[in-house]
Structure 1
Amino acid sequence: MPTTNNQRLDLAKLAPEVYKAMIALDTVARQGLEPTLVELVLTRASQLNHCAWCLDMHTRDARSAGVSEQKLDLLNAWEEALNVYSDRERVALALTEAVTVLTDGFVPDKVYSAAAEHFDETELAQLISVIVTINAWNRIAVTTRRTPPVRG
């Protein structure tokens, strides 16, 4: 039975153990990475996946974490905003796109190697985990048609 606002179902209510596991995965995936970088990655993946719920949440979380309005405004064109993002942010965003849009092929060696130059192995493992986790959340929200509340 559909929930309010055209949401198809409430995963947290109907599959609570899965939901709890996702929350736990989300929490541990972020460990060791700076919150601003994590929020840029979460927001960019959510843009690529057209996930309104996650975009609403992560743009607000990004602001709270200290991500500048300029970085959020230009995120959809980050490759062209050469001086706005650090090298570390740029390689994280490139890896995010490569992992998220697998229909373009495998994650290119060039993208992975660039990320490996800016992140140690543990950080890279955490970054990959963050990217995988947000893609799972995006797919849950898009599939269940979870939409953000209207604000003022």
Structure 2
Amino acid sequence: MAQERTGVATLKGNPITLIGPELKKGDQAPNFTLNKSLVETVSLSDYAGKIKLVSVVPSIDTGVCDAQTRRFNEEAGKLGDNVVVLTVSVDLPMAQARWCGAAGIDKVTLLSDYKDNSFGEAYGVLIQELRLDMRSIFVIDGNDTIQYVEVLSEMTEHPNYEQAIEAVKALV
């Protein structure tokens, strides 16, 4: 049975339960399986040797999630070829692709955790009550060690973009 964490996060001030461990800087990044399309999956090993900025959003079709993804798309081009920026949500891959096309997102890879919530549970950000992933940022180095973590305590707030970008730049 997965670990349940209460008292660490809210949605508009109302408590929500996060499923999975609380990851910290220095932890080995857990593996995951995410969908690139309905049939194509990727895992952590697909990005071996790369610095990974993983931006987790509850749903791409909300204002803060939209802004967060656009901001990291803007930054991604400045970070170099050894950095991948991944946005993870539980939206269906078709919805992610439609949104990317409409928004002109071309430097961030959107990946879906819809099938079994493996990412959300492994990274401790699966919201039990909603089956969505909590807004969070993980920066993982080329050796798959977590170098930066921000799990927001309130789902509707923006992450600290500057700190996340600085954590990536420190590894480049």
Answer yes or no: same fold by TM over 0.5. Answer: no
TM-score normalised according to structure 1 size: 0.30
Structure with greater proportional strand content: 2
Decide which structure has the larger Cα Rg and report it: 1
Q: Output the TM-score relative to the length of structure 2.
A: 0.27
**As a proportion of its length, which structure holds more helix?**
1
Q: Which has the higher contact order (CA 8 A, sep 6+)?
A: 1
